[in-house]
A = this chain, B = another copy of it.
Amino acid sequence: MAEPLSSEQAGQLAPLMKALADPVRLRLLSLVAAHADGEACVCDLNDAFDLSQPTISHHLKVLHEAGLLDRSKRGTWVYYRIKADVLAGVAGLLGGVGR
């Protein structure tokens, strides 16, 4: 019912959707979001999957480069934090398409 997405809008939204279009990444994102302060250590995330450490690292990189996760290194550990506003923006745009 709203205006159709412009070519540019679609071109900007698509990479975000692509980052979210993988079951492992969806779970990673929700695991980070579910952590008390919206922040999780990679060491915790690795154990939640039956996948190699490089694979998890790769997926985290994809989510980070898409702008969905913030990355901060503290000492030996790396923490990822969810960017809730970005995710909310995607959800909003998506919901807006259908209505």
Residues of A within 8 A of B (CB): 1-5, 7, 10-11, 13-14, 17-18, 20-24, 26-27, 29-31, 33-34, 38, 82, 84, 87-88, 90-92, 94-95, 97-99
Contacts and interface: CB of A to CB of B under 8 A. Distances in A.
A94 B20 contact: yes
A35 to B, nearest CB: 9
**SS of A interface (majority):** helix
Complex copy number for this chain: 2
B33 A97 contact: yes
A38 B4 contact: no
Contacts of A2: 30, 33-34
Nearest to A36: B1
